Structure 1
Amino acid sequence: MIRQLAFDLPGRQAMTRADFFVASSNALALQTVEGWLGWPGRKLLLVGPDGAGKSHLAQIWAVEAGAVVLPADSLPGIDIAGLSGHAVVVEDADRIASSGAEAEAQLFHLHNLVTTTGALLLTARTPPRDWGLTLPDLISRMQATPIAHLDAPDDALLSAVLVKLFADRQVAVPANLIPYLLSRMPRSIGAARALVAALDTRALAAGRPITRTLAGEVLDSIDPE
């Protein structure tokens, strides 16, 4: 018997506004992002757990505002002056302190430039008081940044995300699979993403369709987190 080779290729991750599923856990954050022209101080911080949709919202805004998207740990190598007049997204801003004093200084200068000439959106898992910042001027500016919170997803949102993730991989699944997965999986979008990837890989390797039986085997053998 020939065993089918399985390559763990990432599915297409659609990050458009049309692909963003609105639920009670994220509706207010979405409304705040869409009202970006009225942000106090031309800035906003999105705070929420991993997999809550912060990067998706940031990408929606980046398209709308024509923004440059920067990981926080890339700031030490960025020409800040060259971003004058631009809207900017800084992803994972809560990790800036671990990148060193230069990174903090760069974020401080970026903040001052962009909030004067453009707009600034930051994403983080926690509020600024928990980032471990040491630069006083940066601390004061981050703590003065308005915050929009995203909560952990509820069943309705997780169900929609699971359907989307399977569709992104062009995988058809039976209707009873989604409620079954919801009843056993950890409550995060990150867990949903890991679980769908594991199911797709196992099904390809075994040459089997994705069923409740296969899902039970995968759930018993991995930690989706």
Structure 2
Amino acid sequence: MTIPLQNPPLYTRAAFATSDANAEAVRAVERWPAWPNGALALVGPEGCGKSHLATIWTERAGAAVWRPEIALADLAGRPILVEDADRAGDETLFHLINRATLDGGLLLTSRLRPTAWACALPDLRSRLNALTTAEIDEPDDALLIALLEAQFRERLRRPAPDLYEYLLKRMPRSVAAVRETVRLLDEAAGEQGRPLNRLLAREVLDAVEADLGDALDD
């Protein structure tokens, strides 16, 4: 029997991997409470670290996290985080953006820039177009290696040092691919009782490479 060992993910500033791909977004978030008009939109592809960075800000600012079932009146006077803000609804966004300065700050996350969000209210459109936006780019090599290290560390694994460069050449270049690749290697090493090295990685990736790419494209 293989018992999977894994540390819970850490959403602290120390655990957040920084590179050229996200450094400007980090600086933008850390400028709070000096955001223009009290609001900032944090955008980037799925799994790029938006929620991690937003959680760091939420802890620092003492912010509330808005959800559809929460009445806006109950959040008055507090900084607010809205995840997937492009789905929050026109009335909600209009109200929150108007109150951002009074409430102490508003952080909105999305995969799309605010200028691309669908909205039917002309007054909201003008506000979305004017929002200050911080964008996280697709991960570069430095960020992918840092994410690989963090994922292996969460699973209490210490791979061979040369494994990281090898994986960069073989796996799809995305955060989702990092997570799935580490999961597959962790399971293979545990089931086979083998060290995490290039030989194991080649066998695993040769067996699943096509399926891995298809799954991440879905």
TM normalised by structure 2 equals 0.87
Query: C-alpha root-mean-square deviation of aligned residues, in Å?
Result: 2.0
- Distance of 2:180 and 2:32 partners within structure 1: 32
- Distance of 2:202 and 2:84 partners within structure 1: 34
Find the residue that maps to 1:37 and give its secondary structure: coil
- Distance of 2:188 and 2:65 partners within structure 1: 34
Aligned to 1:88: 80
Unaligned runs of 5+ in 2: none
Structure 1 residues 58, 219: closer, same or farther in 2, change over 3 A?
same
Matches within 5 A, 1:65-104: 65-70=61-66, 74-75=67-68, 77-96=69-88, 103-104=89-90
Q: 1:146, CA displacement in angstroms?
A: 0.3
Deviations 1:96-151, CA, capped at 9 Å, x for gaps: 4xxxxxx3322322333344222100111111232222233332222221001111
Find the residue that maps to 1:223 and give its secondary structure: helix
Aligned to 1:61: 57
Q: How many aligned positions are there?
A: 211
- Distance of 1:119 and 1:108 partners within structure 2: 14
Kept in 1, the 8 Å contact 2:33–2:104? The answer is: no
Find the residue that maps to 1:38 and give its secondary structure: coil
Matches within 5 A, 1:206-225: 206-220=192-206, 221=208, 222-223=211-212, 225=216
Kept in 2, the 8 Å contact 1:84–1:118? The answer is: no
Residue 31 of structure 1: which of 27, 30, 40 is its match?
27
TM normalised by structure 1 equals 0.85
Structure 1 residues 196, 69: closer, same or farther in 2, change over 3 A?
farther
In the alignment, is residue 50 of structure 1 matched against residue 28 of structure 2?
no
Kept in 1, the 8 Å contact 2:21–2:140? The answer is: yes
Residue 102 of structure 2: which of 116, 127, 130 is its match?
116
